């Protein structure tokens, strides 16, 4: 019952605005807050909050931000022994603008996240890790090393192929469960527009399959998530809530899914639980701070 996450760790600077700026436009910020962020960190926190032992591998800079973020991760219950501090390298940062509508725009500077190496991964034991969870904010070569090692150990390999990068597609054959949103699906499947209906989503998702035993999950925002296999596809409907901040909702889904699968839950129930966790997360500000705990998710599902 363990989750091993390889991923990014960022300092998120979140500015709230009335409306997102257009190109060339300057808008006044309503507030500015600093949060723990990065897809790897967010997903690790989400998994740990669901009550599953969670290890995070990554890198931060040898600066005050790096030390502070490691301490925050540990405070959420994430095991950070595999997070290295790199002198002379800045910690990753994300600059986030959030509008009153809850829509957002994000610019990420990788910093230390780009310095995670296959050698660092190879030197780490993953014995006993039930689920491996990665994203694409750390080098694909490091993810490949982890997934190849995980295959030999019988671990379930989950890839959240975000952001949509060309090198991400090369990892698909090594992936057991692939998670993308509609925009990423359209990019990888080379579509002119984002698929909306389940039939469209399933046709596009199957274009990304390289093995008959793979599962692709397409997150659809408030509509829920589509689960696509070679011979079936079904929709797990989203929960209707009032969104305050959608930053990190996808990461919450991924982390909660990994945790519930590690705990032995079947896929359909795990997706429903992850959907509920993501719905709770958008009702609070920030990414990592908005991740709900298992008790909150269970109460929400029962309600």
160 labelled binding-site residue: no
223 labelled binding-site residue: yes
224 labelled binding-site residue: yes
192 labelled binding-site residue: no
42 labelled binding-site residue: yes
Q: What DSSP assignment string belongs to the chain?
A: -EEEEE---EEEEEEEESSPPPTT-----SEEEEEEE-HHHHHHHHHHHTT-EEEEEEEEESSHHHHHHHHHHHHTT-EEEEEEEETTSPPEEEEEEEETTS-EEEEEE-GGGGG--HHHHHTS--TT--EEEE-SSS-HHHHHHHHHHHHHHT-EEEEE--S--HHHHTTGGG-SEEEEEHHHHHHHTT-SS---SHHHHHHHHHTT--STT-EEEEE-GGGEEEEE-SS-EEEEEPP----S--TTHHHHHHHHHHHHHHTT--HHHHHHHHHHHHHHHTTSSSSGGGPPPHHHHHHHHH-
190 labelled binding-site residue: no
Q: Per the structure block, which two tokens stand in for 202?
A: 């399933």
250 labelled binding-site residue: yes
Which one of 64, 213, 251, 266 is the catalytic residue? 251
38 labelled binding-site residue: yes
Whether 251 is a known active-site residue: answer: yes
286 labelled binding-site residue: yes
219 labelled binding-site residue: yes
100 labelled binding-site residue: no
46 labelled binding-site residue: no
197 labelled binding-site residue: no
Annotated binding site for K(+): 245, 247, 281, 284, 286, 290
Annotated binding site for ATP: 181, 219-224, 250-251, 275
Annotated binding site for substrate: 10-12, 38-42, 137, 251
Annotated binding site: 10-12, 38-42, 137, 181, 219-224, 245, 247, 250-251, 275, 281, 284, 286, 290
Active-site positions read 251
């Amino acid at each position: 019952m363990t989750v091993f996450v390889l991923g990014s760790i960022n300092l998120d600077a979140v500015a709230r605005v009335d409306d997102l700026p257009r190109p060339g436009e300057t808008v006044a910020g309503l507030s500015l807050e600093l949060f723990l962020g990065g897809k790897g960190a967010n997903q690790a926190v989400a998994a740990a909050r669901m009550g599953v032992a969670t290890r995070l591998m990554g890198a931060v800079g040898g600066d005050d931000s790096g030390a502070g973020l490691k301490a925050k991760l540990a405070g959420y219950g994430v095991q950070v022994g595999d997070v290295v501090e790199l002198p002379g390298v800045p910690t990753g940062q994300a600059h986030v603008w959030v509008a009153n509508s809850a829509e957002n725009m994000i610019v990420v500077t990788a910093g230390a996240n780009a310095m995670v190496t296959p050698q660092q991964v190879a030197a780490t034991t993953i014995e006993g890790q039930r689920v491996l969870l990665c994203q694409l904010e750390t080098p694909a070569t490091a993810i490949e090393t982890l997934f190849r090692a995980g295959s030999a150990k019988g671990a379930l390999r989950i890839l959240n192929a975000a952001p949509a990068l060309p090198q991400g597609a090369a990892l698909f054959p090594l992936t057991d469960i692939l998670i993308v949103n509609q925009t990423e699906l359209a990019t990888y499947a080379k579509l002119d527009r984002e698929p909306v209906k389940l039939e469209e989503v399933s046709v596009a998702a199957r274009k990304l399959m390289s093995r008959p035993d793979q599962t692709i999950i397409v997150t659809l925002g408030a509509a829920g998530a589509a689960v696509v296999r070679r011979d079936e596809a079904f929709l797990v409907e989203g929960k209707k809530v009032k969104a305050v901040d959608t930053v990190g909702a996808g990461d919450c889904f991924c982390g909660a899914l990994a945790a519930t699968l590690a705990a032995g839950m079947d896929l359909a129930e795990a997706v429903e639980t992850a959907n509920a966790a993501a719905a709770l997360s958008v009702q609070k500000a920030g990414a990592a701070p908005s991740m709900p705990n298992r008790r909150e998710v269970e109460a929400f599902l029962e309600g």
